[in-house]
A = this chain, B = another copy of it.
Amino acid sequence: MSKGLPKRSEDYAAWYQELVKQADLAEHAPVKGCMIIKPYGFAIWEKMQRTLDDMFKETGHVNAYFPLFIPKSYLSKEAAHVEGFAKECAVVTHYRLKNSPDGKGVIVDPEAHLEEELIVRPTSETIIWSAYRNWIQSYRDLPLLINQWANVVRWEMRTRLFLRTAEFLWQEGHTAHATKEEAIEETRKMLDVYARFAEEYMAMPVIKGVKSENERFAGAVDTYCIEALMQDGKALQAGTSHFLGQNFAKAFDVKFANKDGELDYVWGTSWGVSTRLMGALIMTHSDDKGLVLPPRLAPIQVVIVPIYRGEEELEAIKVYVQKIIDELKRVGIKVHFDARDTHRPGFKFAEWELKGVPVRLAIGMRDIESNQVEVARRDTGEKHTASVDTLTGHILNLLDDIQKSLFNRALAFREANTHKADSYEEFKEILETKGGFVLAHWDGTTETELRIKEETKATIRCIPLQAEEEAGKCILTGKPSKRRVLFAKAY
């Protein structure tokens, strides 16, 4: 804590890494590529989970739980899916350990080899559609609107806490529909839910779009996404929603009888967000002093630090503060009174700044006399005094203001860092000097996309849904294009 953080301007990656560690959010586990989400980090994730879960339920979804293990052969059933996911996986081959003959520890029992190896789920389309086959017979069984909260594993060698880890936590929605139109509507609806969550709770502006064929989910007909811009000018994909067409229904033979009794394959969607959102949240708002949390996701929204000399003063402040605490809690504000006698106020100020608590109150003996407190907001660092008599309303407004300010600040940053490029030269120059989002014309081919990626490291983040039609020429090939697409270097 006391060590201070690297500056973002000097080493953004080191700043991120140290912030995650020093703010007690997460740490690397002894198992390569895995992470431990520490209580403070998990409390933020829990707020995200609870909010999203409520939004899913409001839109008619229910939760269920499917197995961790997928039979190896399932992965091969959908041709594109196996190409995308049957690569870096954790494979369970044995089901027993035994004592080592040399008396030192345990070894894998070679006799306990599984007939068919099991894959630790990298995503659950295959196991879920194999179940849907039994669950769906008629149009009356549709739609199925199911979500699960789960851990998944995609073997990764180069990992970064929250952003890329071998095991991560996520939710995955898997829905089944009688018509193509309804499935597309569901795909778009959940994209909207994600965008609303990102903007209203994470205070993170996002661009909704559709992925190019090359960036599409393995097994999807269309992949929709929300893309956010981080402070270092790199993009981060914050959520995806896939229209699966009838691909998985065909792979797992899931048919239904429509109202006329005719059999047809079921239409599907899947959509997910993960603990990666934690990385997005951190990188959108935080500064060189540490984490900055939007009030709606902060486990502690207000921290109270007593300023005192000696036990007697501390006791007096404790008594005085209790009614403030009660009042704040009464209106639903999460408040913490930091009465630790082992640390000085300056230390506490720095620690709560590091942990991103939106509002800090400081109260000393003189404040009690004048019936006021010192109020400091984390986002701007601004301080002022406020009367205790009207404090609750004041804090409610302040939290609301911080939530909005963070969003507006992030939006202004994104707007300042979104550029149009009309030639490949200009495109490369923007990427090298400014970074950020670049809107440019593209001829629609994977070939062009890959060459641009190879030469500039920039990828097509999405074809924005709100992109206006605009005749233009591809920056690389000069071929005609109807609209600009969104390029960026990305996490």
Contact = CB atoms under 8 A, between A and B. Distances in A.
A68 B34 contact: yes
A120 B92 contact: yes
A89 to B, nearest CB: 6
Q: Which interface residue of A63, A65, A98, A127 has the most chain B CB atoms within 10 A?
A: A65
Interface in A157-181: 167, 169
Contacts of A131: 27, 29, 36
A258 interface: no
Interface string A391-432: 000000000000000000000000000000000000000000
Nearest to A65: B37
A106 B76 contact: yes
Contact of A66 (B29, B76, B82, B92): B29
Interface string A88-109: 1111111111100000111010
A79 to B, nearest CB: 11
Nearest to A26: B65
A253 interface: no
A153 B68 contact: yes
Contacts of A43: 62-63
A6 B61 CA distance: 32
A67 B130 contact: no
A134 B38 CA distance: 12
Nearest to A119: B97
A67 B127 contact: no
Contacts of A119: 97
Given A36-B64, A37-B65, A31 B95 contact: no
Contacts of A69: 31, 34, 90, 167
A146 interface: yes
A38 B67 CA distance: 11
B62 A39 contact: yes
B93 A89 contact: no
Contacts of A67: 29, 31, 34-36, 167
Contact of A108 (B34, B91, B134): B91
A327 interface: no
Interface string A166-199: 0101000000000000000000000000000000
A463 interface: no
Contacts of A17: none
B127 A342 contact: no
A118 B36 contact: no
B37 A64 contact: yes
A359 interface: no
A46 B73 contact: no
Given A30-B71, A64-B37, A131-B36, A95 B89 contact: yes
10 contacts: A30-B71, A31-B67, A36-B131, A43-B62, A87-B97, A91-B96, A92-B120, A97-B119, A140-B342, A151-B151
Interface of A: 27, 29-31, 34-39, 42-43, 45-46, 62-76, 82, 86-98, 104-106, 108, 117-120, 127, 130-131, 134, 140, 146, 150-151, 153, 155, 167, 169, 342
